[in-house]
Structure 1
């Protein structure tokens, strides 16, 4: 399971998403280290290898799934210890199966748990022995360590899943000496009927204050440097360098970018020069770049930018309409010179896009406020 452990590597300029987990390697002593898993099927544990090659490292014991009593171990720059009564649930086969599931998850494909639940649904819809056998095979294809989590029910764990795939008169995987009665079987089927109803309700339920994710597709605001406002700029008008004069504290700036860089400078002479820079936003940025920043600028810059964006869209209603027309789309803003303001292929923080979304929300609020 990838959880929140998100990483990536770059191949020919393309980001390959990945995640990581802890493993032990055996190099004289056991070392706790990270195993990186990537969507293209490669894994990195002291060297980037294919999953088949990684299986060889497991079989050789270099990546350890057995932890001997009394063996020395370490976590780099953190601690050393000896194993006392160690317990591990992993085998080489289980770890490889878990990694395969992780690769499926990184690619948005059904993993072994998803495939099992789909096979169980198929059996419940058409209760033939053939489909029960397919569901049973799919259940045992889930790594043993992951089966208790398959239903997302930590009270019952996977008990309701074991029963229908075994059937009346069969034996559940975790209780091989206890024959499944018809009553137990019927209760398991009722569990899945209730679960199907609950899932249908969850899918159709909308949070009281609206959906958690955007309805409209994301909009990419590519970098541009127009010197004149075109008749129909489209979303290009949402860029900070778009020629839309903004007035702040009695000073009119050609663009939001001019205003931002002017207000960032500590020297009043530089501020004035930037405000009147005639070579477009590139000249404004260049003039400010060599000057000292205002004290506390790093902490204040997002508030300043938010105020400038409010000014832009308040003073130019036609541009406010362009911003409002983006509905609730995520606004992905590029800024080659700044990973703070720009998304820049997922490597930046996209603060310019996020503040545009904030101002858009404020504009919507202004239109819908009660009178």
Structure 2
């Protein structure tokens, strides 16, 4: 059985898989400092709020701005958040060949965002979470594997 590959902190092994990792993405005709900046900004329809998130000095600040409920969330957020995350993650790994190689090097290992602070995107710390970020990474890996086969 293939061992689980857990990631979370940018400083740890496979920290590049974190949305906080410093790899800019180009989406919607703009440069986003991290996939976290892009994801958090998409929670809002107001271009000024999106731009404030995009220009946040760190991904942690972008995340805080994205969680600020004084700003009006887009009405369809719950139904589109997974597709928004998938778009950000796929762009990150397509736009950075070193990241694509790293992701492909994991072969068929289960990828787990290991954190007790998130049971939707992560594993909830005890494996009971949905691990949606890990699932998206594995989906992107499968796409890249298929595209790169001779």
TM-score (norm: length of structure 2) = 0.90
Q: Are positions 1:218 and 2:25 aligned together?
A: no
Per chain length, whose mean CA-contact separation is higher, i.e. which structure has more relative contact order (CA < 8 Å, sep 6+)? Answer: 2
1:343 to 119, 123, 129: 123
Partners of 1:334 and 1:265 lie apart in 2 by: 27
Query: Aligned pair 1:317/2:97, yes or no?
Result: yes
Instruction: For residue 292 of structure 1, report the CA deviation from its aligned partner.
Output: 2.1
Higher-Rg member (1/2): 1
* Structure 1 residues 239 and 253: alpha-carbon distance in aligned structure 2, compared to 1, 3 A threshold: same
1:247 maps to what in 2?
26
Structure 2 match to 1:264: 43
CA contact (8 A) 2:121 2:132 kept: yes
1:332 alignment partner in structure 2: 112
Match of 2:80 in 1: 300
Preserved CA contact (<8 Å) 1:223 1:335: no
For structure 2, which runs of at least 5 residues remain unmatched after alignment? none
For residues 82-131 of structure 1, the C-alpha deviation after alignment (integer angstroms, 9 at most, x for no partner) is xxxxxxxxxxxxxxxxxxxxxxxxxxxxxxxxxxxxxxxxxxxxxxxxxx
Residue in 2 aligned with 1:273? Answer: 52
1:367 aligns with 2:148: yes
Question: Which SS does the other structure have where 1:264 is aligned?
Answer: coil
Q: What is the number of equivalent residue pairs in this alignment?
A: 147
Residues 11-160 of structure 1 mapped to structure 2, 5 A cutoff: none
- Is the 2:25–2:32 Cα contact (8 Å) retained in structure 1? yes
Tell me if structure 1 keeps the 8 A contact 2:122–2:131. yes
Q: Which runs of 5+ in 1 are unaligned?
A: 1-214, 227-232
Q: Deviations over 1:281-321 (max 9, x none)?
A: 11111112112221211111111111111100110000000
Aligned residue for 2:66, secondary structure, equals helix
Residue 15 of structure 2 corresponds to which residue in structure 1? Answer: 236
Whether 1:356 aligns to 2:137 is yes
TM-score (norm 1): 0.38
- 2:65 match: 287
Tell me the C-alpha RMSD between the 2 structures. 1.6
Q: Which secondary structure state, in structure 1, belongs to the residue aligned with residue 42 of structure 2?
A: helix
Matched residue SS, 1:242: coil
Q: Is the 8 A contact 1:335 1:341 kept in 2?
A: no
Greater strand fraction, Structure 1 or Structure 2: 1
Shift of 1:337: 4.2
Secondary structure, counterpart of 1:332 in structure 2: strand
The whole-number CA distance in structure 1 between the counterparts of 2:38 and 2:94 is: 15
Q: Which runs of 4+ in 1 moved over 4 A?
A: none
Deviation at 1:269, TM superposition (A): 1.3
Q: Distance in 2 between matches of 1:261 and 1:316?
A: 21
Deviation of 1:336 after TM superposition, in Å, equals 4.7
